[in-house]
């Protein structure tokens, strides 16, 4: 990066949110993130995906093995624990990365994925789904559903996975949380249905009709000038993935609109949201809706934290807490199943 670019502030912290942000985050932002050009301000080109991503993550822990597998239209990365699997096979956690359905790859949030494998003694499968705008909706939904079907049909033979005794969990962050929530429901529509033991939804996109009017979700107006994921970037993502606004309310874009008969079949859930995130209130609303329908749900809000907190556990105490909470919730679910 040329020196002039390295010293140009492209993402200053807006006065609207400065006093409420975690001071540890503000210091890191001012030293690092502020100098990154926001992708939504640039003309679209696939090379945008080469721009710096969320920095401040923890090192990737060592697991038993890591291998990539090509599926029909996408790839998966399989993190397997060390040692011998239980007689019935390893539990499986399908983890779906964020990036607004536009950015990200198998290396995105790899630290979180590997930690789930190591600490929860499970296979973690990361999905490298097709990206927008080259592959708009419903390509990513199709990739996610095909992956859960592949896990259920091939996991035992290919991975020593426990796929028959309610030991498959799903999770994701941001747009990945959106896809995780959707596939947990779509799995119940398959023949036969695929049981999902748990879902980990981190700052999920739940309602793609949300707007900065704040009428339904106050955080969209309250946090419109927040760091990282402001309304400009979020709408850029949405238009990349959902160029046809008539699809925004489809429940496989906005799972909060799924029929109640299907939502009652959602698995027990952990929903983690960040206080300084425009998506905060829709995540909470989804958790509360599931809870109202009898689903066991834990909702946690992380004070002072912005949208990308999960990927910053190498530098932020609040991120380490978030990662630890999500990891424990998943582990507890596997033990209880």
Q: Which residues are marked as active site?
A: 174, 277, 307
Cα–Cα distances in Å, from 253 out to 173, 228, 243, 250?
Answer: 15, 22, 12, 5
- How many residues belong to the chain? 337
Cα–Cα distances in Å, from 312 out to 66, 216, 316?
Answer: 23, 29, 6
Cα–Cα distances in Å, from 273 out to 5, 84, 278, 326?
Answer: 33, 36, 10, 11
Q: How many CB atoms lie within 10 A of CB 179?
A: 30
Distance from chain centroid for Cα 246: 24
Separation between Cα atoms, residue 289 and residue 80, nearest integer Å: 34
**Structure tokens that stand for 82 in this block:** 């060390």
**Structure tokens that stand for 18 in this block:** 């400065």
Q: What residues contact residue 306 under an 8 Å CB cut-off, 6+ apart? A: 21, 25, 226, 227, 228, 229, 274, 276, 277
Separation between Cα atoms, residue 301 and residue 273, nearest integer Å: 5
Cβ proximity of 306 and 278 under 8 Å:
no
């Amino acid at each position: 990066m040329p020196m002039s670019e390295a010293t140009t502030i492209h993402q200053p912290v807006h006065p609207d949110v400065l006093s409420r942000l975690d001071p540890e985050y503000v210091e890191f932002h001012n030293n690092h993130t502020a100098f990154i050009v926001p992708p939504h301000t640039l003309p679209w080109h696939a090379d945008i995906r080469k721009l710096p991503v969320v920095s401040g993550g923890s090192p990737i822990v060592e697991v038993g093995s890591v291998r990539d597998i090509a599926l029909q239209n996408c790839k998966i990365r399989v993190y397997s624990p060390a040692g011998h699997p239980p007689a019935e096979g390893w539990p499986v956690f399908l983890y779906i990365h964020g990036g607004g359905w536009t950015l990200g790859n198998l290396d995105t949030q790899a630290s979180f994925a590997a930690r789930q494998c190591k600490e929860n003694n499970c296979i973690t499968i990361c999905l490298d789904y097709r990206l927008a705008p080259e592959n708009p909706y419903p390509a990513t939904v199709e990739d996610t559903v095909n992956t859960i079907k592949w896990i259920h049909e091939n996991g035992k033979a290919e991975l020593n996975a426990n796929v028959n005794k309610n030991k498959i969990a799903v999770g994701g962050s941001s747009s990945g949380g959106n896809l995780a929530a959707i596939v947990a429901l779509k799995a119940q529509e398959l023949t036969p249905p695929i049981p999902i033991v748990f879902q980990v939804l981190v700052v999920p996109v739940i309602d793609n009709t949300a707007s900065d009017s704040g009428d339904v979700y106050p955080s969209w107006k309250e946090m419109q000038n927040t760091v990282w994921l402001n309304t400009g970037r979020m709408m850029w993502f949405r238009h990349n993935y959902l160029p046809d606004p008539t699809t925004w309310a489809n429940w496989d874009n906005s799972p909060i609109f799924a029929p109640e008969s299907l939502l009652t079949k959602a698995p027990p859930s952990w929903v983690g949201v960040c206080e300084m995130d425009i998506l905060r209130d829709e995540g909470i609303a989804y958790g509360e809706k599931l809870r109202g329908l009898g689903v066991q749900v834990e909702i946690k809000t992380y004070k002072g934290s912005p949208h990308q907190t999960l990927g910053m556990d190498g530098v932020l105490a609040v991120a380490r807490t978030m990662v630890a909470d999500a990891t424990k919730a998943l582990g507890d679910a596997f033990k209880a199943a």
